[in-house]
Copies of this chain bind each other. A is one copy, B any other.
Amino acid sequence: MVELKDVSVKYSNGVDALDHVSLKINDGDFAFVVGASGAGKSTLIKLLLKEIDATSGKIIVNGYQLNTLKKKEIPALRRTIGIVFQDFRLISSMTVYDNIAFVLRVTDAPVPHIKKRVPYVMNLVGLQEKAKSYPDELSGGEMQRVAIARALVNDPQLLIADEPTGNIDPELSYEIVELLKSINMQGTTVMMVTHEHELVRRFGGRIINITAGQIAFDEIMEGTDNEI
């Protein structure tokens, strides 16, 4: 569950990235977040991860009160969240396999589980053949899919994806969103930032539009996919 109460973010250079935003995403929801470039979508995500702190307002993520969260507890918070960053953020010194497995290793997961789970998620995103490649040896779309696999691997409570299809062709994009949908069906809350209106139109669901740091629109729309 994600809850923001009257949250504002002002960056040190004076940019008001978020302006009194209140928002609640319940457990098991699937929400698209859309909005123009620079509207504050990634800022919202940084807040949820406690990568930055809100200038004012309260945030609760998966039961963690972020305002009062101690530094030491941040890893625990982050382990409940799977995240696909807009700029991928893969560890360049690790292979694809290790990039994904790392998330399990930090949680002390048993080795046999890692050995089963990692190939499974690599398969989900179609990267089984790239296990031993390093991020530098991947195409843009492949890196993005590694990032998606990494976010999925530890079965997070909340999955946040920031433009997870920005570098992927339309066919694959649909597959990815369908993957996220099926994960959502199993109970994971999903929040997906995207600027591809076609995807949103097709799948429908809850759509949150952020414009200039404010929530301009937050409604549930029918997807065209269901009609076809």
- Residues of A with Cβ closer than 8 Å to B? 11, 13, 15, 34-39, 41-43, 86-87, 132-133, 137-142, 144-145, 162-163, 166-172, 195-198
Contact = CB atoms under 8 A, between A and B. Distances in A.
A92 to B, nearest CB: 12
Contact of A169 (B35, B167, B169, B198): B35
B170 A139 contact: no
Contact of A163 (B37, B138, B167): B167
Contacts of A137: 11, 13, 15
Contacts of A43: 139
Given A166-B167, A170-B197, A37 B140 contact: yes
B198 A139 contact: no
| Copy count, this protein chain | 2
A179 B182 CA distance: 39
Contacts of A37: 139-142, 144-145, 167-169, 172
Greatest chain B CB density within 10 A among A13, A86, A139 is at A139
Q: Which A-B residue pairs are the 3 nearest by beta carbons?
A: A37-B141, A166-B166, A169-B195
Contacts of A168: 37, 195
A158 B41 CA distance: 34
Nearest to A129: B15
A172 B196 CA distance: 12
A198 B198 contact: yes
B169 A42 contact: no
